[in-house]
A and B are shown apart, each in its own frame.
With several copies, the nearest count.
Chain A
Amino acid sequence: MASLTHETIDLQSLYDMVATPTAGAIVTFSGVTRELTQGRQTESLDYEAYAEMALAKLTELEQIAKERWPIEKCAVVHRLGHLEIGEASVVVAASSAHREAAFLAAKWLIDTLKEEAPIWKRENWSDGSTEWVHPGLPTGDAP
């Protein structure tokens, strides 16, 4: 149940997607736009994705999570486009009979999608400059 959306992500709807009578535990993780990143003031963010591959990758990660932990269901939705401070860029939800599995699967899903999903964010700094975030790229006059 992976998806990409240009709309505000609704936490309750993610919860509802993974709720099921056999689930005693539901964990959600929301990644939220922060005002300060390493001391610099963020005005807003833009996210873009290689959409078809990102969706395939998120779906694959959900499958792997279900094989690796005894979870009932999981769901991931990633926001694209323009985000203001405080808006969620990503929400992950996982349900399980016992709570350990839901915590571990939700943590793994967010950790792994941040490494593998072809999605990028652009920081729009409060000084008017903008910058694509590409971890590991040489900085300075980086693109």
Chain B
Amino acid sequence: MRVCVKLFAAVRDIAGDEKVELEVSSDADISAVRAALIGKWPQLEPYAQFLNFAVNQTYATAATRVAADDEIACIPPVSGG
């Protein structure tokens, strides 16, 4: 299936877009989404372990399953405040 992932800050700058489409298997979880993202942008590889993800605006774990219509976002380490 095809999922859409929102990107922010340095990750968005590297990918050059605020939103990317990734092809993942129909039973994909966040670890599969992460792998697909790194596969598309190998420059992100050193940061892979530091990237969190959110599904439908809630922090997800590596095992969180995703569906094609989920709102998925890649959340690099935050620095608000």
Report A's interface with B, CB cutoff 8 A.
31, 47-50, 52-54, 56, 78, 89-90, 110, 113-122, 132-138, 142-143
Residue from the set B8, B9, B73, B77 with the largest chain A CB neighbour count within 10 Å: B9
Pick from A56, A118, A137: contact of B8, CB below 8 A. A118
In the complex formed, the residue of A with least CB distance to B75 is A118
Pick from B59, B76, B81: contact of A134, CB below 8 A. B76
Query: Which chain A positions have C-beta within 8 A of B59?
Result: 116
User: Interface SS of chain B: helix, strand, loop or mixed?
Assistant: mixed
Minimum CB–CB distance from A55 to chain B (whole Å) comes to: 9
A-B interface pairs (CB < 8 A), number = 90
Is B57 within 8 A of A53, CB to CB?
yes
> Which of the candidate stretches B10-18, B30-38, B61-69 sits at the interface with the other chain?
B10-18
Q: How many chain B residues touch A (Cβ–Cβ < 8 Å)?
A: 24
Minimum CB–CB distance from A29 to chain B (whole Å) comes to: 10
Is B81 within 8 A of A118, CB to CB?
no
Pick from A50, A117, A142: contact of B10, CB below 8 A. A142
In the complex formed, the residue of B with least CB distance to A114 is B81
9 additional A-B pairs beyond A50-B8, A136-B50, beta carbons within 8 Å, are A47-B80, A50-B57, A50-B73, A53-B57, A89-B81, A116-B78, A119-B80, A134-B47, A143-B11
Query: Which chain B positions have C-beta within 8 A of A117?
Result: 78, 80-81
